């Protein structure tokens, strides 16, 4: 199955564009792609005509170019006829935005388009989905452009059965500074399924991490997907809903998915070394850290902080996540003590956490990072940085990144995410150090490395 025209289209037709309703989903999709993205887009309406000086083509066969991707936003009962036209015209793929198929009780309609697609080797995603968002390339989401919050270009691909969950995660990725390579909403996943997208993304040169929001699998699908994920050279993260009986019912009414036995699913995921995110915070944290660091750790965490309270909370979070915060050897403690400035040496604590207090400076943090970076006693350093401490500057992220590169040991930072501190946060993230907005998030990043 060739998914390149679907995920990297050069030409696109939007079918169902209205000549009278500017807010029709097809109109939103056409308008946001027309002249804003490199994909060449055409509008199709059975009546033909004009829309703001743009031609409305009556049939997809009338288009002046061959089409890679057809975005179908026509009523469900019309979609089989649209498929016939697309296949006859040599269209290479489709995203069926329309709802009203299996999830609405019309299994017959969904079965019909699947049979057509299978016979013609015509890959499509959906129905009942948002489609594809690829930064600076294409956006088939029927959400007004002024309301979209889009992450920067990056290396995380997120595939979701729920369009709403996908958009929410894009907002969280944007807030956390996590860049995306692709966001794909698959809805009822009638034809192109998670395993197809995983196989494509495993070889995508831009994507480093592949994450999924899953509601359920048909019989046999889950096992095949888990085995494929285990073979992936890239980290695969799964967040699943339908864990409870009530959640199972909600999933069935949403995308007509079979949620299945969650206990069996969880055991299979763990057995095959696939990361499961328990919630949205874990998903964002896992994606961010694995987009930076791909190698795993044993989970021996060193904590360097400017606040004893922050250090204690981080230790508790590490223990909760089954990672160790080992007591440092006397030799390592002495090295840390000798490395810091004299004013800090007399008041700091050099256990683990290393509490440098509110008197610490950039030089103190960097000196301790070098000592821990060279030590085999820990395999990941978590910095708890408080930007309001007088001795800490906006350069701290840049300086610590040099230590990370020298010793090839993962460094993770906690920095409160508010606009006032954006320059400090950028100093970390632009230099390859993930920076979480919470202590728990920083620990979850370490957890991902320990489970990867």
Question: The whole model's pTM is what?
Answer: 0.91
Instruction: Give the DSSP letter string of 245-306.
Output: HHHHHHHHHHH------HHHHHHHHHHTT-EE-SSHHHHHHHHHHHTT--S----BEEEEES
Cα(205)–Cα(249) distance, integer angstroms: 38
- CB proximity list for 361: less than 8 A, separation 6 or greater: 341, 344, 391, 392
**What does pLDDT average to in each consecutive run of 10 residues of the chain (452 residues)?**
96 95 93 93 93 91 96 96 97 97 92 97 97 95 90 96 95 94 96 97 97 89 90 94 58 50 78 88 96 93 97 97 96 97 95 96 97 96 94 93 93 92 91 95 96 78
Residue range(s) occupied by CATH 3.40.50.720 in the chain: 1-127
- Which CATH superfamily includes the segment(s) 301-451? Succinyl-CoA synthetase domains (3.40.50.261)
**Which fold would CATH assign to domain 149-291?**
Rossmann fold (3.40.50)
Under a CB-based contact definition with an 8 Å cutoff, are residues 12 and 68 in contact? yes
Under a CB-based contact definition with an 8 Å cutoff, are residues 299 and 443 in contact? no
- CB proximity list for 452: less than 8 A, separation 6 or greater: 235, 275, 290, 294, 295, 296
What pLDDT is recorded for position 254?
A: 46
What pLDDT is recorded for position 250?
A: 52
Q: Smallest Cα–Cα separation from 67: which of 24, 141, 6?
A: 6
DSSP character at residue 329: P
Instruction: Give the DSSP letter string of 96-162.
Output: E----SGGGT-HHHHHHHHHHHHHHT--EE-SSS-EEEETTTEE---S-GGG---PPEEEEEEEES-
Query: What class does CATH assign to 1-127?
Result: alpha beta
Q: Largest Cα–Cα distance in the chain?
A: 82
What pLDDT is recorded for position 348?
A: 97
What pLDDT is recorded for position 249?
A: 52
What pLDDT is recorded for position 260?
A: 57
Cα(280)–Cα(170) distance, integer angstroms: 11
Q: Smallest Cα–Cα separation from 187: which of 215, 211, 167?
A: 215
Q: Give the number of other CB atoms < 10 A from CB of residue 304.
A: 27
Cα(348)–Cα(360) distance, integer angstroms: 9
Q: Give the number of other CB atoms < 10 A from CB of residue 52.
A: 10
Residue range(s) occupied by CATH 3.40.50.261 in the chain: 149-291, 301-451
């Amino acid at each position: 199955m060739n998914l390149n025209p679907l995920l990297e289209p050069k030409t696109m037709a939007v079918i169902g564009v209205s000549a009278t309703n500017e807010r029709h989903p097809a109109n939103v999709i056409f308008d946001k792609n027309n002249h804003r993205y490199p994909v060449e887009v055409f509008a199709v309406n059975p009546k033909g005509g004009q829309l703001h000086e743009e031609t409305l083509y009556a049939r997809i066969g009338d288009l002046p170019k061959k089409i890679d991707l057809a975005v179908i936003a026509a009523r469900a009962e019309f979609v089989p006829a649209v498929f016939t036209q697309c296949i006859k015209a040599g269209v290479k793929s489709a995203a069926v935005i329309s709802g009203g198929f299996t999830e609405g009780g019309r299994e017959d309609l969904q079965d019909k388009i699947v049979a057509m697609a299978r016979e013609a080797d015509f890959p499509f995603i959906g129905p009942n989905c948002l489609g594809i968002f690829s930064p600076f390339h294409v956006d088939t989401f029927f959400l007004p452009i002024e309301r979209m919050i889009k992450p920067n270009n990056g290396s995380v691909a997120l595939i979701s059965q729920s369009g709403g969950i996908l958009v929410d995660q894009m907002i969280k990725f944007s807030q956390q500074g996590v860049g995306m390579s692709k966001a794909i909403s698959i809805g009822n996943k009638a034809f192109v399924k998670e395993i197809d997208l995983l196989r494509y993304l495993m070889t995508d040169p831009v994507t480093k991490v592949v994450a999924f929001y899953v509601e359920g699998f048909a019989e046999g699908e889950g096992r095949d997907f888990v085995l494929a994920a285990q073979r992936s050279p890239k980290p695969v993260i799964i967040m699943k809903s339908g864990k409870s009986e009530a959640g199972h019912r909600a999933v069935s009414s949403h995308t007509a998915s079979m949620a299945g036995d969650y206990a069996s699913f969880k055991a299979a995921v763990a057995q095959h070394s696939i990361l499961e995110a328990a919630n949205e915070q874990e998903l964002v944290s896992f994606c961010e850290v694995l987009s930076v660091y791909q190698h795993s750790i044993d989970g021996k965490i060193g904590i360097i902080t400017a606040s004893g309270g922050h250090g204690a909370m981080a230790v508790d979070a590490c223990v909760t996540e089954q990672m160790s915060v080992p007591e440092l050897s006397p030799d390592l403690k002495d090295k840390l003590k000798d490395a810091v400035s004299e004013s800090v040496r007399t008041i700091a604590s050099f256990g683990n956490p290393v509490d440098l207090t509110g008197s610490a400076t950039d030089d103190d943090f960097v000196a301790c990072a070098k000592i821990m970076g060279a030590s085999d006693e820990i395999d990941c350093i978590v910095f708890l940085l408080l930007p309001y401490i007088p001795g800490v500057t906006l350069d701290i992220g840049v300086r610590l990144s040099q230590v990370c590169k020298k010793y090839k040991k993962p460094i993770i930072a906690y920095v409160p995410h508010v606009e006032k501190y954006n320059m400090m946060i950028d100093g970390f993230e632009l230099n390859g150090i993930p920076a979480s907005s919470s202590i728990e998030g920083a620990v979850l990043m370490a957890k991902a490395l320990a489970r990867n």
